[in-house]
Amino acid sequence: MQPRRSPAWLGVDVVCVLVFCAIGRRSHDEGLSIAGVAATAWPFLTGTVVGWLASRAWQRPTDVVPTGVVVWLCTVVIGMLLRKASSAGVAASFVVVAASVTAVLLLGWRAATALTLRRRSDV
């Protein structure tokens, strides 16, 4: 299996979501305990997994389009729906920040990977 087609790339998305949640908790003085980060992250991680399944991301995990976009949108939309269903906050400003930060993280690593691979193939 080619490294670019490995489902292990799901781990990169999971780390990105955990980083987003940890930064958010820290910026709101909520603490960085494992339980606290997990409580914040589970809706978004659920969305990430749904995005992986919907896009069949294991086939082209490093592609920004369509894989990254589908994973990002599912992460945000499903994450917010699950937060709302569990009575967690979904203020408009939070949705904007969450969408922006997760876009940078989930799409950013894919764009950086594509750029790196393109440069390597040019050498």
- Alpha-carbon gap, residue 21 to 88, rounded angstroms: 14
Q: Is the distance from CB of 14 to CB of 48 less than 8 angstroms?
A: yes
Query: Per-residue pLDDT for the chain (123 aa), expressed as one digit of tens each?
Result: 356 788 899 999 999 999 999 999 999 888 899 999 999 999 999 999 999 999 999 999 999 999 999 999 999 999 999 999 999 999 999 999 999 999 999 999 999 999 998 888 776
List the domain range (segments joined by +) for residue 16: 3-122
Provide the number of structural domains found in the chain. 1
pTM for the whole structure: 0.92
